Homo-oligomer: A and B are copies of this chain.
Amino acid sequence: MVQQLNDFIELNKQRVEEAMEDYLKQMSITNRLSDSMNYSLIAGGKRLRPVLLIATYQSFEQSFHAKTLSSAAALEMIHTYSLIHDDLPAMDDDDLRRGVKTNHIRFDEATAILAGDALLTYSFEIIANDSLLTNEEKVELIRMLSEKSGPKGMVTGQILDMKAEETGCDLETLEQIHALKTGALLTFAVLAGAILAGATKKQLDALENFSYYLGLVFQIQDDILDVTGDEEKLGKRVGSDEENNKSTYPKLLGLSGAIAKKEHYVSLAKQSLKEADVNEASYLFALTDYLTERDH
């Protein structure tokens, strides 16, 4: 199953990367802005969100369909814009991301701000222009994508996270921050895939729970890797959370407490998948295991 999952991830990563490349070409602009957008988009990464979207679609429809690609690419563009803005000097002030220079270091701050703005805006255009989608699907995807990435979702997570970095926070607030900052886009991934596959309301509700737990699993593992991980595999420095006195699961619960918490959420995530009638052979189960065991 592990090899099969790796092949699935690799195949769909390629599909999404090709789609993003095509979308960038369709802009028909070549200047500092498109160079800067392109630089961060092709900088790699796990492409977890688009792969999760396609895996959810295929847990209902078995085979791949190209109508998943616009929302998968749009989602990755929004994730990328959020990283570009997060890395800015006024925010996390990071010089390196995935082992290469961050956007504002490679270009400049103004260009990085605008490249983020452009990726965010373009993501809605991509969905609105996809001839494989019905108008009803487009509206539902755009409604959900703006809700999850905007002030009701990711951006508020970012604001709360900044505050927590100054003042510290308790476990409840930490989970609220993660649910918004990371979880909201994962929820979009799962629900978008399910909606495109025609899932029922009951299934969507169960999948929303799944994505909530999966987001926490992902985040706890992130925190754990910052304590126990390998810098080379991660492509970033470890131990920075502790240095920055950041509220994390290991800090609030101890390392073994964090691991136990993660296992608890893994079981809740899988239970939600069963409630959504997702087959245990589906990639969503394997992806959940993959995320809890990942070393980068």
Contacts and interface: CB of A to CB of B under 8 A. Distances in A.
Interface of A: 27-29, 31-34, 37, 81, 85, 88, 90-91, 108-111, 113-114, 116-118, 120-122, 124-125, 128-129, 135-136, 138-139, 142-143, 145-147, 149-152, 155-156, 158-160, 162-163
Nearest to A27: B151
B122 A32 contact: no
Contact of A90 (B109, B124, B143, B146): B109
8 contacts: A28-B152, A29-B156, A85-B117, A110-B162, A114-B158, A122-B151, A124-B142, A142-B142
Contacts of A85: 113-114, 117
A227 to B, nearest CB: 26
Contacts of A110: 88, 90-91, 162
Nearest to A136: B135
A150 B77 CA distance: 13
Contacts of A151: 27, 29, 33-34, 37, 118, 121-122
Contact of A139 (B37, B138, B150): B138
Complex A-B, nearest 6 residue pairs according to Cβ-Cβ distance, in ascending order: A121-B150, A90-B109, A125-B146, A128-B143, A135-B135, A118-B151
B118 A121 contact: no
Given A122-B151, A135-B136, A151-B33, A159 B117 contact: no
Contacts of A33: 151, 155-156, 159
Contact of A27 (B116, B125, B152): B152
Q: Mostly helix, strand, loop or mixed at chain A's interface?
A: helix
B155 A117 contact: yes
A92 to B, nearest CB: 9
B128 A135 contact: no
Contacts of A129: 143
Contacts of A91: 110, 113
A147 B118 contact: no
A120 B116 CA distance: 11
Contacts of A120: 117, 120-121
A126 B91 CA distance: 27
A67 to B, nearest CB: 15
Contact of A128 (B88, B142, B149): B142
Contacts of A31: 156, 159-160
Nearest to A141: B128
Contacts of A147: 125
Contacts of A155: 33, 114, 117-118, 121
Contacts of A135: 135-136, 138-139
